[in-house]
Amino acid sequence: MFVFFLSFFLSFFHFHLSPFSISLIFPMLLLSLFFLQKDSEENEPTRHPYVVVVAIDFGTTSSGYAYAFTKEPECIHTMRRWEGGDPGVSNQKTPTTILLSPDRKFHSFGYAARDFYHDLDPTESKQWLYLEKFKMKLHTTANLSIDTDLHAANGKKVKALDIFAYALAFFKEQALKELSDQAWADFDNADVRWVITVPAIWKMPAKQFMREAAYKAGLVSRDNPDQLIIALEPEAASIYCRKLRLHQMVDLGNKTALNGYSPTENIGVGMTQGDRYVVVDCGGGTVDLTVHQIRMPEGHLKELYKASGGPYGSIGIDYEFEKLLCKIFGQDFIDQFKIKRPAAWVDLMIAFESRKRAAAPDRSNPLNINLPFSFIDYYKKFRGHSVEHALRKSNVDFVKWSSQGMLRMNPDAMNALFKPTIDHIIQHLTELFERPEVTDIRFLFLVGGFAESPLLQQAVQKMLQGHSRIIIPHDVGLTILKGAVLFGLDPSIIKVRRSPLTYGVGVLNRFVEGKHPPEKMLVKEGTRWCTDVFDTFISTDQSVALGETVKRSYTPAKPSQQVIVIHVYCSEKESVSFITDPGVRKCGTLKLDVSGTESPASPAARREIQTLMQFGDTEIRAMAVDVATSRSVKASIDFLSQ
């Protein structure tokens, strides 16, 4: 075992520990940076205590689950076919839609929720709480907490944690029922390792929120947190893509299976030590990019550049369509229609979804979108004239009225709705490929439901100009789901990741004239100290290996102290000097429960609490031990209670 220490002496931390009403003075004697490289035998995949791995792909627009038994890791089962569905839309997954009864109890999820809501009387439907595309709230909410609210289609508020927990509980019930049917007996949840997928660009609060929802849903208990793994969506796709056989994919360069290998060979056969590739996960809400390098012969993966992307998913096209409707019929009408006829608005967006999927660069015939009767009827009552009149009077000449009660859009009009979203993706891809870390990229994998769009495919081809081979798996909508199962079977497959942010804490350092600002100086007992110094745990885009840890030692201010609470700060900047620097914000709390760890022989003795933090996993973890007694100290990092 190789251990590297970089130690330096610091004194005088000061925290006011509300709600514990403890002032922590002199808690830090030693800070040391500690990198622990595991023994070679530790790098081998560990044996599974679980019988099966079940992965839940919780998407913005559609969701589903898949599973594999640990004794048959190569055989991945996707969930049973869902009842319901839309013309021209695959139902391998189910819509991420949820319905609560008027008394706020869970009623249904997916197609069942949507169809039941659709069949309700308009007056009655106003009492029901219907939610869709709510996952993005976790990405867009600046100060996410367990009390964050969502808005149902009728405008009523509901706790986001309840909705996510209801959804996860639904998938738990469905998966366990399917496993029980296969086993001809009740399947024990304790035998399941659960995996939940999240976008790689999500911050730690959103990841923790999903974990809290899983606890509330009963997927796992807080006493056994390792039963749940959070998987990053483009990482999961990457794990699956490197195992693809050539007949399972399309090379956009020639629209056929890849040349040079037989159709039964893995793409990995064509990958050599050091090959680099990009995975672009184009989902409903976000587009996530990850850059990996493959390490042969084990096929382990190394992240070359921190995960990037943004809210450039396919729902951006829905928003553009809504803007177009507002331009034709008026913002005031559309806002009222969504509130007064929420089920009809859902119908309209379903009709648009199937037409959206028919958009293509070479399409010449118009796309017809059915307008619900209640839209036509309500508009006439609201405005006093017809929908046809509104279209004639509007300046939108590329959308016409059809006598069959449909909006008729010419292909250019539909393509224009795609342009802002696709432009964002191409701009981000262009900037990524200009980075020095992202060179010699052999393959670009397009995955996620939005990757099926011919318009997006054409734009990516034009941008790359043949420099990398663009590969699309045949089961593009299930790529993340299947990869998440593989990740659950072997979480150590990603050996090196890049930190998305710079993390650290505030400390006091010896004041150095000329280096530290005078306003930061604090004099204590004749010694000059610099306040608010940012002690960096890890820097943004820093490589960090799986199992690599950062070690810090803290000492309670007095023997009777029960809890040590330390604020954690973060920044997108690589180099940070002070916790008051622009862009630095408090993002979490490190909590050490030191009760019951003191030595019975000398309870008044000064204690050193050694804390290890892991940054190389999909979540930040903390462990701690009392050095004198070797007793474990309960350590946790909370990113939600800000």
- The tens digit of pLDDT for each residue in 86-135 reads 554 456 789 999 999 999 999 999 999 999 998 888 888 889 999 999 99
Q: Are the C-beta atoms of residues 610 and 629 closer than 8 Å to each other?
A: no
Q: Six-digit token pair at 210? A: 């999903």
Report how far residue 10's alpha carbon sits from residue 13's, in angstroms, rounded to the nearest whole number: 8
Which pLDDT does position 263 carry in this prediction? 41
Report how far residue 186's alpha carbon sits from residue 368's, in angstroms, rounded to the nearest whole number: 49
% of residues, the chain, pLDDT over 70:
85
Which pLDDT does position 375 carry in this prediction? 95
Domain limits, CATH 3.30.420.40, in the chain: 52-232
Residues 401-429 have pLDDT tens digits of 987 888 999 999 999 999 999 999 999 99
39 pLDDT more than 70: no
Which pLDDT does position 79 carry in this prediction? 87
Report how far residue 260's alpha carbon sits from residue 314's, in angstroms, rounded to the nearest whole number: 34
Which pLDDT does position 250 carry in this prediction? 76
Which pLDDT does position 490 carry in this prediction? 94
Look at residues 413, 407, 372, 414 and name the one whose alpha carbon lies nearest to residue 388: 407
pLDDT band for position 615 (50/70/90)?
very high
Q: Is the four-CA dihedral 566, 567, 572, 575 of positive or negative sign? A: negative
% of residues, the chain, pLDDT over 90:
68
Task: Tell me the pTM.
Answer: 0.86
Region 11-22: mean pLDDT is 32
Query: What spatial distance separates the first Cα and last Cα of the chain, rounded to whole Å?
Result: 38
Report how far residue 279's alpha carbon sits from residue 235's, in angstroms, rounded to the nearest whole number: 8
Domain limits, CATH 2.60.34, in the chain: 501-638
Which pLDDT does position 416 carry in this prediction? 95
**Own/partner pairs for 458-467, CB < 8 Å, 24+ apart?**
458/361, 459/422, 459/425, 459/426, 460/252, 460/280, 460/425, 460/426, 460/429, 461/252, 461/253, 463/426, 463/429, 463/430, 464/433, 466/253, 467/441
Tell me which of 64 and 597 has the higher pLDDT: 64
Residues 517-555 have pLDDT tens digits of 999 999 998 999 999 999 999 999 999 999 899 999 988
Cα 236 from chain centre? 11
458 pLDDT more than 60: yes
User: Mean pLDDT score of the chain, rounded to an integer?
Assistant: 85
313 phi and psi angles, rounded to 5 deg: -75, 180
Q: Are the C-beta atoms of residues 512 and 546 closer than 8 Å to each other?
A: no
| Cα→Cα distances 288→315, 393, 428, 543, Å | 15, 41, 10, 19
Which pLDDT does position 597 carry in this prediction? 64
pLDDT band for position 602 (50/70/90)?
low
Class of domain 52-232: alpha beta
Instruction: Specify the CATH number of the domain 501-638.
Output: 2.60.34
Cα 226 from chain centre? 18
Residue in the block written with tokens 């019988």? 51
Residues β-bridged to residue 593: 563, 634
Tell me which of 405 and 176 has the higher pLDDT: 176
Which pLDDT does position 229 carry in this prediction? 97
User: Rounded to 5 degrees, what angle do the CA atoms 255, 260, 261 make?
Assistant: 95
